[in-house]
Amino acid sequence: MGAETWRRFRRHKLALAGALILAVIALAVLFGPLLWRVPINEIDFPAKLQGTSWRHPLGTDDLGQDLLSRMLYGGRISLAVGLAAMLIAVVVGTAMGALAGISRGSVDAALMWITDLFLSLPQLPLLLLIIYLFRDSLKMLVGPEVGVFILIVIVIGGFRWMPVARLVRAQFLSLREKEFVEAARALGATTWRTVWRHILPNSLGPVIVAGTIDVAAAIIAESTLSFLGLGFPPDIPTWGRILFDAKDYLDVAPHWAVIPGAAIFLTVLSINYIGDGLRDALDPRKVM
């Protein structure tokens, strides 16, 4: 199964290119700071707003801080936010969808009512409101960086589980009537064993695809919050925060905004193409 999935995936040229680009970005942000040791907060006023050079390959900001080191550091946070928020969304969505899919009557209706309620909420205004209300409390409790990270991950993940829940529920409703599930029941398997051993594993393909989309959505959401000034503190240079700081210097230092914007664009585009490739590779009905 794994070999066949890989064979299908690598035939999707855009997905393969997206995987290579994402791998390069991930390796750069993980190991780049070990090679490029310029501190992210080192101020060099004579070099402020400079373009690319040997000393500063991606240029500098208004304080003369090296953009390459700040991009590498911020990339770690942006990718970590995307992955952590995706895990929350997938776990909560899978649990809600599975419970609704194996239930009947009022339980299923109540869970879907809760899902529809969350889907109807305006996400961006609520994100801004929750972060504005609880950001300072978490900063005092666990520190500014960890507190904001936890809050942003929980809030973004908490507003991304609904599509996963609907997808898993639809898969469960379809699979629980299949012959192999009926055979497991006839052999005396309990409901939870049937779910865990037979239904859930066969539902993971669409969930994996949805998870890739959630990573991209979480990165965009974090960048949006940072760009609006409600994300990480100014001394923590996420890609969205770098964009926020660059907005007043677009006419004199366009590289300052173009570089983080291009990083967000390439990362999100690569993840979306990977999702398309996984969708085709995990679909047994699609001939490739």
Give the C-alpha separation, 229 to 153, whole Å: 16
Domain that holds residue 88: 2-33+63-281
Q: Which of 27-41, 141-155, 219-233 ranks highest by mean pLDDT?
A: 27-41
Place of tokens 């989309």: 213
117 falls within a domain: yes
CA distance 266 to 10: 19
pLDDT tens track for 169-183: 888 888 777 777 778
Residue 233 domain-assigned? yes
pLDDT reported for residue 286: 54
Is residue 50 one of the residues assigned to a domain?
Answer: no
In a domain, residue 93? The reply is yes
User: Does any domain span residue 261?
Assistant: yes
In a domain, 55, yes or no: no
Q: 31 Cβ partners below 8 Å, 6+ apart?
A: none
What mean pLDDT value characterizes the chain? 81
Q: Is residue 286 part of a domain?
A: no
For the chain, what is the domain count? Answer: 1
User: Rounded to whole angstroms, how far apart are CA atoms 192 and 186?
Assistant: 14
CATH code of the domain containing 229: 1.10.3720.10
HSE-CB at 108 with a 13 A cutoff on CA atoms is 13
Sorting pLDDT into bands at 50, 70 and 90, what band is 102? confident
Give the type of residue at 64. Answer: G
* Residue 237 belongs to some domain of the structure: yes
